[in-house]
Structure 1
């Protein structure tokens, strides 16, 4: 039998995972599209930054986020100056840390889908005079649905299963 505190912990976990996945959809899909299509000199460094959570142990990443978002860290000082308080040991801080930690689990599958898309569907949409936004929503996203579904599932599952970042940032 689950106790009320068990149910509260499960509920909090599901809230963080759901909100994190929703934020990752909004941020990660355009980021993946930019990484797939950009010829900018910034695309490689940004791609490397997105991949950092894959190579750092969760507790190390959590420690870095704790230092950044803590009361004496640059982000913590900024949020306090803006009257938002400290992000560490708060629901907002947990979501921000989870978004950063789970970002590659959304971006990588979506990026792979978008890179495999090729030029033909985009050229066909352009020949029909579709706008770039219409092409993205009517052509790119439907064709990348398997990558999107994979990214959603992996991001949610990864957020539910993370412990090191939550332990460091959430207390």
Structure 2
């Protein structure tokens, strides 16, 4: 039996499912938040930006621990979801989505905020003068003009979620077909010294990460070239 035939693709499918749902949730949440950060002059802006960027500098184990405590069945949040929706947020796929949303938040917010801040202010003012609301301006004026930033935010958030390890292990553990994502599967292979399969799984992750980044750079280069031509 070849190494390819021995591969259990379930952890990869679970990782992609988690990444897709997390990216969608973060896009919905981050779009108005990033727009607000790009437009506001409030004194709390640095505080909000620092809070948003915190997952970048925090060790995943620290972030995972506090999320685990916040979502446990003894916490108000955990009790609310379990009593109201019969959803357990610890050691479940739902908990992984919540944890991943916190962990990948800056990778969605920061590119969107940078894209909005790079927009021509006169274009936005013209939309407001024409009687368009802030939401209409955001959807019909701002978004179409930040395509590279939008694509970067979506793809990098997806890839970052696929590759996360510490947070998902702390919050979800390693339950087959439920919380055992690809990164956790690789960790367990190394633990049992199955280096050959660990190499195969890791190579797949490297290839996915490279293709994701390559697609972002190619699109951005083509978009900049197109803008330059016009």
Give TM-score scaled by structure 1 length.
0.91
Q: Which moved more, 1:55-64 or 1:98-107?
A: 55-64
Q: What is the DSSP-based 3-state SS (H/G/I as helix, E as strand, rest coil) of the residue aligned with 1:82?
A: helix
Higher RCO (C-alpha 8 Å, min separation 6): 1
2:49 alignment counterpart: 47
Find 1:101's aligned residue among 66, 86, 103. Answer: 103
1:32 alignment counterpart: 34
Partners of 2:9 and 2:19 in 1: how far apart?
Answer: 15
1:88 alignment counterpart: 90
Partners of 1:51 and 1:11 in 2: how far apart?
Answer: 28
Partners of 2:39 and 2:55 in 1: how far apart?
Answer: 23
Partners of 2:85 and 2:35 in 1: how far apart?
Answer: 34
Partners of 1:149 and 1:163 in 2: how far apart?
Answer: 24
Find 1:130's aligned residue among 124, 132, 137. Answer: 132
Segments of 5+ residues of structure 1 without an aligned counterpart are none
Partners of 1:166 and 1:37 in 2: how far apart?
Answer: 34
Q: CA deviation at 1:82?
A: 2.4
Q: CA deviation at 1:123?
A: 1.4
2:142 alignment counterpart: 140
Q: CA deviation at 1:138?
A: 1.3
Q: CA deviation at 1:83?
A: 4.4
Segments of 5+ residues of structure 2 without an aligned counterpart are 174-230
Q: Which moved more, 1:58-67 or 1:117-126?
A: 117-126
Q: Which moved more, 1:81-90 or 1:101-110?
A: 81-90
Partners of 1:27 and 1:18 in 2: how far apart?
Answer: 14
Partners of 1:2 and 1:153 in 2: how far apart?
Answer: 29
1:164 alignment counterpart: 166
Partners of 1:124 and 1:70 in 2: how far apart?
Answer: 49
Q: Which moved more, 1:114-123 or 1:149-158?
A: 114-123
Q: What is the DSSP-based 3-state SS (H/G/I as helix, E as strand, rest coil) of the residue aligned with 1:137?
A: helix
CA RMSD of aligned residues (A): 1.6
Partners of 1:119 and 1:127 in 2: how far apart?
Answer: 12
Which structure's CA Rg is the greater one? 2
Q: CA deviation at 1:161?
A: 0.4
Partners of 1:150 and 1:50 in 2: how far apart?
Answer: 17
Q: Deviations over 1:31-64 (max 9, x none)?
A: 1001111233433322221111011011211111
Q: Which moved more, 1:104-113 or 1:32-41?
A: 32-41
Q: CA deviation at 1:116?
A: 1.4
